[in-house]
């Protein structure tokens, strides 16, 4: 019986060894990497960056690109800036209403953007030294980042310098916006202007050297500002008020605005930091 068992085992091994081997494929699978960076041309890179975003909805920025036009990411895009990434607007890009980044399509994420404009900063001397940026009414809408329409925007760690307009401009009934750790200085107008958006949260950040205001809320026409939360922000010197809500076209439609832990560090002593219309629903805690 033992011999018979051994014989059967040997036959099984022989039969398994004789099974046909599947042929090796002569058509191996290939993959194509999506280009998410573009070479810097030394001139205006706006078109090349826009083409990449349109094709892949993703852009990795790790060099200095010249953006004299308006970059408009499609819906669902993501832009990530690496340690060497930067968008530079030169004086050739001056013109009314030309934001560097225009976000008007929904569900866009921008990580670590560094945007520098051509507005020079000067040192002036009053009670103490402070940074003074220039104001030009023809260029005041040349913002770093403009959000106008759509919903679902997240901007993390933006660093903004030397633009003629605002660091961030919110308008067009845009909704559901989160801005984390804003760092803005040398601005020709305001740090953040909200002239018509809702469900906006600013988490942390600091600013210095705005020609007009730090936080400006001036909805007009049928637009409104609603459910606007600013947390843990340090506001340095600005020529105008830290919080301003009013103006000749102001429509009083400002609802549920809360500042929590707003720190004002004005080197001149911080006088007249707030100018808020009586009808505006703004709480500073």
Q: Which of 77-91, 131-145, 153-167, 223-237 has the lowest mean pLDDT?
A: 131-145
pLDDT in tens, 175-220: 999 999 999 999 999 999 999 999 999 999 999 889 899 999 999 8
pLDDT in tens, 81-94: 999 999 999 988 88
Residue 55's pLDDT band, with cuts at 50, 70 and 90, is very high
Answer whether 217's CB lies under 8 Å from 190's CB: no
- The DSSP secondary structure of 185-245, one letter per residue, reads EEESS-SEEESSEEEEEEEEEEEEEESS-SEEE---TT--EEEEEEEEEEE--BSS-SEEE
pLDDT in tens, 249-270: 899 999 999 999 999 987 655 5
Q: Distance between CA atoms of 102 and 143, rounded to whole angstroms?
A: 9
3-state secondary structure of 160: strand
pLDDT at 8 over 70: no
Label residue 167 left, alpha or beta by phi (over 0 means left) and psi (-120 to 50 means alpha): alpha
Query: Token digits for 251?
Result: 């429509």
Average pLDDT in the 88-109 region? 91
Sign of the CA dihedral 74, 79, 84, 86? Answer: positive
């Amino acid at each position: 019986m033992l011999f018979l068992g051994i014989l059967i085992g040997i036959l099984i091994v022989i039969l398994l060894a004789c099974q046909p081997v599947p042929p090796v494929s002569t058509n191996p699978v290939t993959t194509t990497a999506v280009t998410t960076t573009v070479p810097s041309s030394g001139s205006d890179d706006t078109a090349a960056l826009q083409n990449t975003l349109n094709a892949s909805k993703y852009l990795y920025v790790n060099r200095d690109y010249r953006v004299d036009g308006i970059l408009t990411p499609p819906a669902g895009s993501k832009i990530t800036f690496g340690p060497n990434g930067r968008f530079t607007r030169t004086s050739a890009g001056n013109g009314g209403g030309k934001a560097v980044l225009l976000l008007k399509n929904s569900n866009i994420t921008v990580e670590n953007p560094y945007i520098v404009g051509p507005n020079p900063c000067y040192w002036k001397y009053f009670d103490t030294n402070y940074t003074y940026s220039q104001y030009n009414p023809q260029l005041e809408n040349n913002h770093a980042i403009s959000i106008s329409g759509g919903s679902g925007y997240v901007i993390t760690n933006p660093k903004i310098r030397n633009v003629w307009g605002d660091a961030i401009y919110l308008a067009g009934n845009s909704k559901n916006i989160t801005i984390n750790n804003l760092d803005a200085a040398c601005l020709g107008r305001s740090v953040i202007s909200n002239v018509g958006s809702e469900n906006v949260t600013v988490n942390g950040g600091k600013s210095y050297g705005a020609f007009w205001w730090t936080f400006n809320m001036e909805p007009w026409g049928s637009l409104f500002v609603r459910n606007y939360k600013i947390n843990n922000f340090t506001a340095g010197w600005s020529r105008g008020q830290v919080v301003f809500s009013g103006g000749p076209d102001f429509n009083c439609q400002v609802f549920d605005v809360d500042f929590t832990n707003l720190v004002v560090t004005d080197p001149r002593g911080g006088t007249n930091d707030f100018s808020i219309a009586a009808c505006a629903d703004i709480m500073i805690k």
